[in-house]
Amino acid sequence: MKIYIDQAPVNIHGKHLLLKKHDWDDYSYKSTFLLTYFDGTSDKYIGELKIIDKNIEEGRVNVESGIEQLNDNFCSLGQSKEYYSNLRKLSGKIEKKILTVLNDSAFDKIIYDEFYQLPQYQSSAVRFTQAEEALTFAQEIYSRNKRPKIKPCHSFPYTTKLNLSLIHI
């Protein structure tokens, strides 16, 4: 699934994503985009997301138009619960494809672990409470897909002696 920035080519009819740049400035870091998904016949607005580039700490995050997936120096994070709810309305296969091609840090724990401590992630991706809530919401949704190993919370040995003289047969 191709990712286009600001405007898709006129002759594109297949499934693709459109990221429109937004000029919001997070302490000299411009990482805000508006995501729309095109399924080949209609468009579906998903919502606002931030794209973090671990190689730059200030300036505009630039994503190349026409790529199949963000490269490894980028991650994304939806900025509201509504963003992830809109993704959930798509088919599960399409939802996972979008989250994967955008290197979503709420969806992929490895990506989250790699980016979370970066200053640009802290000052931009999770700058607002609404984004922190979206992160928690999405991590909860997507962690349900994996079966957790349930460990007993208490374990102890138990022994007893029975007084067989009280038993009447």
Q: What is the pLDDT of residues 89-116, one digit of tens each?
A: 999 999 999 999 999 999 999 999 999 9
Question: Whole-prediction pTM value?
Answer: 0.82
Q: What letters, b where the CB count within 10 A reaches 16 and e where it falls short, cover 50-79?
A: bbbbeeeeeeebebeeeeeebeeebbbbbb
Helical packing angle, 92-101 and 81-88, nearest 10°: 130
Give pLDDT, residue 112: 98
Q: Where residue 138 falls among pLDDT bands split at 50, 70, 90?
A: very high
21-80 residue pLDDT tens = 999 898 889 999 999 999 989 999 999 999 999 999 999 999 999 999 999 999 999 999
How confident is the model over 4-19, as a mean pLDDT? 91
Tokens of 150: 């349930």
Phi, psi of 136 (to 5 degrees): -65, -45
How confident is the model over 4-22, as a mean pLDDT? 92
Give pLDDT, residue 93: 96
